[in-house]
């Protein structure tokens, strides 16, 4: 289809011909999704971070995240993080900022040193490191 321009052209840009970054994952969850579960052990209780992916245009893309623990003191925010991050992943667009936002959370009671990462300022930041690792593995 040819588009006729009948006004004076005052500027232009070359369209990007690469595949678009924004692809919308299906709203309906499939019966089986591929994913990985990572274990974090910051102290008294272990935390398990499961990230499941969908295949879109031949590429894996994160679809949902679950954080599970027996630590009942953190149940509310763990559930909140899981639901919000999953909602963002399902809405399409760039999801990488999720890990960056999580890694920026500081808590003076739960920060600790990890050999590979240095000082990790909170449990949420440690979960963010796991999320970031998962995202990087999708791109490789």
Residues 6+ apart with CB under 8 A from 93: 21, 22
What's the pLDDT band for 84 if we cut at 50, 70, 90? very high
> Is it the case that residue 5 has pLDDT exceeding 70?
no
Query: What is the average pLDDT score of the chain?
Result: 85
Q: What is the pLDDT of residues 102-137, one digit of tens each?
A: 999 999 888 888 888 889 999 999 999 999 999 999
pLDDT for 111 equals 84
Q: What is the pLDDT of residues 29-39, one digit of tens each?
A: 889 999 999 99
What's the pLDDT band for 140 if we cut at 50, 70, 90? confident
Report CA dihedral (81, 83, 88, 91) to the nearest 10 degrees.
180
Of the listed ranges 13-27, 40-54, 82-96, the least confidently predicted one is 13-27
pTM: 0.78
pLDDT for 15 equals 62
């Amino acid at each position: 289809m040819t588009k006729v321009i009948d006004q004076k052209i005052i500027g232009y840009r070359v369209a990007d011909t690469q595949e678009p970054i924004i692809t919308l994952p299906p709203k309906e969850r499939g019966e089986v999704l591929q994913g990985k579960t990572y274990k974090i052990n910051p102290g008294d209780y272990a935390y398990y971070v499961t990230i499941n992916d969908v295949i879109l245009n031949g590429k894996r893309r994160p679809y949902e995240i679950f954080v599970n623990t027996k630590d009942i003191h953190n149940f509310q925010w763990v559930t909140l993080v899981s639901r919000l991050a999953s909602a963002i992943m399902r809405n399409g667009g760039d999801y990488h900022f999720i890990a960056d936002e999580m890694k920026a959370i500081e808590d003076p009671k739960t920060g600790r040193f990890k050999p590979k990462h240095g000082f990790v300022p909170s449990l949420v930041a440690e979960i963010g490191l796991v999320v970031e690792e998962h995202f990087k593995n999708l791109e490789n």
